[in-house]
Structure 1
Amino acid sequence: MIPTSLVEVDVVRRPRDGVPTAVPLPDGESGPELAPVAEAFEVDIALLEAIGVKSAAGDVRTVPLPEGRFGWVVGIGSGEAAQWRTAGAALARATREKLGETGEAEGDTVDFGEPSEAEYLQIRLPAGIGQDAVSALALGLALGDYRFRVTGQPAPPRLRKALLVTDDEELREPVARAREWAAATALARDLANSPSNVKDPDWFTGLAARLAGEVDGLTATVRDEKWLADHGFGGILAVGGGSASPPRLLELAWRPADATGPHLVLVGKGITFDTGGISLKPAEGMHLMRTDMSGGAAVIGAMLAVARLGLRVRVTALVPSAENHLSGSSYRPGDVVRHYGGKTTEVGNTDAEGRMVMADALVYGVRHHEADLLVDVATLTGAMKVALGLRTGGVFATDPDLSRRLRDAGDRVGEAWWPMPLIEDHTEAVRGELADVNQTPPGPGGVTAALFLREFTEGLPWAHLDIAGPARADKNYAEVVAGGTGFAARSLVEFVASLAEQG
């Protein structure tokens, strides 16, 4: 079922009887501050020392209490936002483990008219906690135990609701905002994790359109292969030509009546499976290419959240979607492809398909949608995985202020970005011999791919986000779980929010 259900996080003024309680444990000047925790649970400090409680962020220990009850102590380190996010994720995972022991948590039950008490958790927030810390905690709780499986087995018990106990009513707003960040991220994860025998371009764009139709004010249009051919989208058609599942172009539009600032066009790569085409990929690891539409998934998740939040910015999202398969109708190295708008590309490697479909969409965003500002997101180059590893995205931008704003947005939502250069010395290499541009120019792969895309932005302010590394994880860390990560979705939401505030 998509979207996957997430932990609901809410703010309450008073603790609930019978609901397992977690107490955060910060670093102190001379070690963990155990006295407040002992007081909260009405236990001796010696008990906390005996079970080995630690203040390291994300360290969770179960505290045995009278009458078979229990609580948790969770370390938050020095209390930075990232550490609260890690703590929230660790608590969500610890709850699942506890529920898995008996099928439900121990302790008295309380009827809230919804799930049993076993599926609830409450956290006593310290006085004076900041809004950034609370939103990070809520994000970790919502995403830390995310799980996507295609199975005929019953769903295992899990944490359904987390209650943040505090007298500060102003913390409701950052929690609500974090819920939307989490929803955007989780939907992007769902789409990336869906198997490609289901997730062809028609299913991918059609599901996104259906979900968009459930959000007031957000409109969706899916363009089929005939429309693409009639309007000259040669890049999308070339990449999708080798598959039995024809390509699509998804358009999402958010047009608030009180919009201010620039018209932002987001473009997300939507390759639902990538064999590499004639330039065939190695078999090892090819199954992971189901996540090659993670950029498009991030854009879709972000757009739904932008609309639900009612952000006062005009935003259009374009997701060109295709399967890059190998067959007699596949495009070839040496082909010359004519893109939307007329510019031509000389193909050097059919496995560089992402830039081919993105080129069409970028020009379409400029000419048809009259963009003021362009941001694209793609799992574009393996070179970025080498340059930045698997947890940091690269930002290429024509405007230093645009780069900074995107990176700052990432900082606020817990996603790491690093500025990358558009090195002008490599611009000439992008020029083609048989065509206007060369699809695979020599030089540093991440840089030259970005320079290729810049050729289709027609001089507008533009940023390219390469998420080849952080779009997928092979193990859990902080609020990330193995599989598609949903990386970039919430950065985009926060970036749009910053444009709304700028006016």
Structure 2
Amino acid sequence: MARSPLPPVPSPLIEVEVGGDARRGEPLAVLLRKDGESPHADLAEELRATGKAGEVLLVPGTGGPRWLVGVGDGEPAQYRSAGAAFVRAANSFAEAEADAGRRAPSGVAVRLPEDVAAEHYAAFTTGVLLGGYRYRVTAEEPKPSVAAVRLVAEDGTPAEAGDAVARARELAAASALARDLANTPSNVKNPAWLADVAERVAAQTRGLTATIRDEAWLASQSFGGVLAVGGGSASPPRLIELSYRPRGATAHLLLVGKGITFDTGGISLKPAAGMHLMRTDMSGGGAVIAAMRAIAALKLKVRVTALVPAAENHVSGSAYRPGDIVRHYGGRTTEVGNTDAEGRMVLADALVYGVRRFSPDAVVDVATLTGAMKVALGLRTGGLFATDDDLADRVRSAGERVGEQWWRMPLVEDHAEDVRSEIADVKQSAPGPGGITAALFLREFTGGLPWAHLDIAGPARAEKTYDEVVPGGTGFAARTLVELAASYADA
């Protein structure tokens, strides 16, 4: 049988462990701070190393460390950048060694400064795991790369460093899985494929269960938004439901992720330029699926339910139209103004279903929803809308701890009437500031519960490498969702 050119999902990650001293013949990297304090200060001066975060210098010869890696002022974020820059340099070194006919190292050792905390070990690990991420659909054999990184344990290594590294691995695995799902091409990734992957991930994760609803069930339950958006495609929609219910959990969090596996814009057709990137329009749903896997793997003591309405938005004789009136789950009606505003249509169904079916304590939805948020916040910051200050603070703090930046946006009540329709209950494509009116539309379906809407249209994709991010799907929001769930488990 021919080998599939598609990479495996989830992608295998580098092994990172906290261990003893560097082994014989194992290349060693030494981390340097900008203050210059290091056992290798003379070597750093000779190579003119500045210690700037992410600076990686290859040391000539073999009499000492192979690399000097800058960690800046020593903030965790700078350790994350350093880990990413280092693993990319180590992989380039492995490729060069193989090209020269020499044996490429499969493992490397890293010596951290003596006085760093467990969070620095975790941040460096996150950088290593995600900075070395690769997704390429090819029949070629993969290039040589580093398979294992050992963080050398000194006498001052924090006792909790090993646990911190293990937890960082689960968080990074969430980002990597979300990247896998976003990067998979849409000739493979239709709603059924996404549902199958979610089901397989659940089967492989203790404590996590999956229920997949097909188009017949969606029709019987009147999921009008999902059926309208998916009606133009030969690949029917799905509703992915994931559940994690640990014993003793008192809080219950509902996560809802947009799962549009490809978006042409429908009859309100998108421009051709850039449409190929719409394979990542399910990044919110991918982040939710990946976060659920990590939440269960970490055995967090909080109940979490996740819903991912998955559909393709295509153009055909059965596609929904501008001017249509769609009846959602629960009965509320929407006047369609633009078929390219499809994300809010599928989220509306899932939000009402989740609120009524599960009665959670709080609701968070995640979506690549509006181009307006890319204009407002750029490509590295997610938009955060919330009806509850405590929930907003939890999301923002969770993002800070894991290295994902959120900016709270206003739910401007002056625009609430813009969402009202003269011929239906609500208007899907309202005039005014697009990110705000989209959030106000979704608020109509949240049942008055504490709710946060995360618009990741900007940071869900990257066109260039920075920090631990590589081009393609970024997995943005997955780590935040895991850390958010942990905040309820710790309460």
**Shorter-chain TM band:** over 0.9
Distance in 2 (alpha carbons) for counterparts of 1:131 and 1:393: 27
Instruction: Describe how 1:38-437 pairs up with structure 2 within 5 A.
Output: 38=41, 45=42, 48-66=44-62, 71-103=66-98, 118-166=105-153, 167=155, 168=157, 169-261=159-251, 263-437=252-426
Cα pair 1:267 1:318 within 8 Å, conserved: yes
What stretches of structure 1 move > 6 A for 4+ residues in a row?
104-107
Cα pair 2:57 2:67 within 8 Å, conserved: yes
Distance in 1 (alpha carbons) for counterparts of 2:45 and 2:39: 14
Cα pair 1:104 1:157 within 8 Å, conserved: no
Distance in 2 (alpha carbons) for counterparts of 1:308 and 1:106: 41
Cα pair 2:239 2:309 within 8 Å, conserved: yes
Q: In structure 1, the residue corresponding to 2:331 is in which secondary structure?
A: coil
Cα pair 1:405 1:495 within 8 Å, conserved: yes
Output one character per residue of 1:311-364: Cα deviation in whole Å (capped at 9) or x when no partner.
Answer: 011100000000000000000000000000000000000000000000000000
Cα pair 2:29 2:65 within 8 Å, conserved: no
* Residue matched to 1:4: 11
RMSD: 1.5
Deviation at 1:468, TM superposition (A): 0.2
Deviation at 1:5, TM superposition (A): 1.1
Residue type of the partner of 2:11? T
Deviation at 1:422, TM superposition (A): 0.4
Q: In structure 2, the residue corresponding to 1:252 is in which secondary structure?
A: strand
Deviation at 1:170, TM superposition (A): 1.6
Residue type of the partner of 1:90? A
Cα pair 2:178 2:478 within 8 Å, conserved: yes
Distance in 1 (alpha carbons) for counterparts of 2:418 and 2:197: 39
Residue type of the partner of 1:417? W
Cα pair 2:54 2:81 within 8 Å, conserved: yes
Q: In structure 1, the residue corresponding to 2:40 is in which secondary structure?
A: helix
Cα pair 2:18 2:162 within 8 Å, conserved: yes
Distance in 1 (alpha carbons) for counterparts of 2:330 and 2:39: 66
Distance in 2 (alpha carbons) for counterparts of 1:13 and 1:455: 56
TM value normalised by structure 1 = 0.93
Distance 1:315 1:104, change over 3 A: farther
Deviation at 1:106, TM superposition (A): 9.6
Distance in 2 (alpha carbons) for counterparts of 1:129 and 1:160: 25
Distance in 2 (alpha carbons) for counterparts of 1:288 and 1:216: 34
Cα pair 1:7 1:143 within 8 Å, conserved: no
Distance in 1 (alpha carbons) for counterparts of 2:440 and 2:463: 30
Structure 1: 5+ residue stretches without partners: 39-44, 110-115
Deviation at 1:258, TM superposition (A): 2.0
Tell me the matched-pair count.
Answer: 481
Q: In structure 2, the residue corresponding to 1:334 is in which secondary structure?
A: coil
Distance in 1 (alpha carbons) for counterparts of 2:182 and 2:100: 32
* Residue matched to 1:37: 40
Q: In structure 2, the residue corresponding to 1:220 is in which secondary structure?
A: strand
Distance in 2 (alpha carbons) for counterparts of 1:84 and 1:4: 23
Q: In structure 2, the residue corresponding to 1:147 is in which secondary structure?
A: coil
Deviation at 1:104, TM superposition (A): 7.6
Residue type of the partner of 2:57? R
Distance 1:410 1:104, change over 3 A: farther
Output one character per residue of 1:214-241: Cα deviation in whole Å (capped at 9) or x when no partner.
Answer: 1111100110000000000000000000
Structure 2: 5+ residue stretches without partners: 1-7
Deviation at 1:119, TM superposition (A): 1.3
* Residue matched to 1:42: none
Deviation at 1:51, TM superposition (A): 3.2
TM value normalised by structure 2 = 0.96
Distance 1:260 1:128, change over 3 A: farther
Deviation at 1:15, TM superposition (A): 2.4
* Residue matched to 1:489: 478
Deviation at 1:50, TM superposition (A): 4.2
Distance in 1 (alpha carbons) for counterparts of 2:97 and 2:402: 35
Distance in 2 (alpha carbons) for counterparts of 1:105 and 1:324: 49
Deviation at 1:105, TM superposition (A): 9.4
The sequence identity of aligned pairs, in percent, is: 63
Cα pair 2:30 2:65 within 8 Å, conserved: no
Q: In structure 2, the residue corresponding to 1:405 is in which secondary structure?
A: helix
Distance 1:289 1:66, change over 3 A: closer
